[in-house]
Amino acid sequence: MSYAPPHIPGIVLISGATGDFGTAFARRFAALGSRLILTGRNTEKLKALADSLDVPTHTLAFDVRDRKAMEAAVASIPADFAAIDLLINNAGLALGMEPAQKANLDDWEIMVDTNDKALAIMTGLILPGMVERGGGHIINLSSTAGSYPYPGGHVYCASKAFVTQFSLSLRADLLGTGVRVTSVEPGMVETSFSLVRFKGDAEKAAKVYAGTTPLTAEDVAESVTWAATLPPHFNVNRVEIMPTVQAPAGLAVHRFKKN
């Protein structure tokens, strides 16, 4: 006997849709029959993804760091796609792993703008409609890095801590509105994430996953789909997932030799 989810979102907006996570999410919700709004920077990649999905799909090409472009794109959503049931704030990235005192400040700015400011603005644009309709769901892609920071993570880890706390704060604000909020916090996942972090250095990126069995984008999509398809009275506040080969690290200790 096949399992039928108790709740299927009618219209799903996915930011960063052409990345590994975004594409996996799009395929999952398309399989459920949801109509999709896909956002990203690359028009051709968005079109190719939309063409591969057997559901009505609307695409919006803009850079999430450009607030005016985001506002214009959201304002342009046609009426038959406007009643968004599920917003998946997925766009995000990490850049560099140098210690903080050697970090590139441009990288810091890009991470904050993308991971935090853009996520908050997108939420602010979509949320009023959900509240007005008396229901909806916002799923924010955070990371275990927000709870368990590591050397070289500094601003990336902090940016994901913001996402988790923003999600929990939204829960408090939205109590009684019927709008759900979930923070999904994956650990090690083998995607293009590390290739982006190391700015195209494939050798460095490969070492991150060497000798391990990490999660996949499809694993994360499984968690997102599970949270999104639960009955509307059921809110999952946080989902923290890791591969079996990973665990929260112990506290770092610097040891020195006595003279």
| pLDDT per residue as tens digits for the range 45-62 | 999 999 999 999 999 999
Tell the burial category of 101 from Cβ atoms under 10 Å away from its Cβ (0-12, 13-18, 19+): exposed
Rounded to whole angstroms, what are the CA distances from 1 to 4, 8?
A: 9, 19
Mean pLDDT of 174-199: 97
The residue-averaged pLDDT of 2-20 equals 90
Report the alpha-carbon distance of residue 230 to residue 8 in Å, rounded: 8
- Band (pLDDT 50/70/90 cuts) for residue 2 is low
What 3-state class would DSSP assign to 26?
Answer: helix
pTM for the predicted model, two decimal places = 0.95
Catalytic residue among 148, 150, 156, 209: 156
- Give the relative orientation of helices 20-32 and 217-228 as an angle to the nearest 10 degrees: 40
> Where does the pLDDT of residue 253 fall: very low under 50, low under 70, confident under 90, or very high at 90 and above?
confident
Mean pLDDT of 196-200: 96
C-beta neighbour count of 18 within 10 angstroms: 22
37-41, 103-107, 250-254 — which is least confidently predicted? 250-254
Average pLDDT over residues 135-157: 97
| CATH dotted code for 11-187+215-240 | 3.40.50.720
> What is the structure's pLDDT at 6?
84
Q: How far apart (Å, rounded) are the C-alpha atoms in residues 39 and 23?
A: 11
Residue 163 is predicted with a pLDDT of 99
pLDDT band at 176 (very low <50, low <70, confident <90, very high): very high
Tell me what the pLDDT averaged over the chain comes to.
Answer: 96
Q: Which of 46, 156, 172 is nearest to 112 (CA)?
A: 156
120, 165 contact by CB (below 8 A): no
Give me the mean pLDDT over the 96-107 stretch: 97
Contact 106, 53 (CB under 8 A): no
For residues 172-183, one letter each, b for 16 or more C-beta atoms within 10 angstroms of the residue's C-beta and e for the rest, the string is eebeeeebbbbb
DSSP 8-state symbol, 54: S
* Strand order through the sheet with 238-241: 57-61, 35-40, 11-14, 86-89, 136-141, 179-186, 238-241
Which DSSP category does 251 fall into? P
Q: Is 156 a catalytic residue?
A: yes
What average pLDDT does this structure show over 28-40?
98
Query: Is the predicted pLDDT of residue 149 greater than 60, yes or no?
Result: yes
DSSP label at 35? Answer: E
- DSSP secondary structure letter of residue 256: -
The answer on pLDDT for 136 being more than 60 is yes
Higher pLDDT: 3 or 75? It is: 75
What is the reported pLDDT for 3? 63
pLDDT at res. 1: 45
pLDDT digits (tens, 9 = 90+) for 159-170: 999 999 999 999
First to last CA, the chain: 71
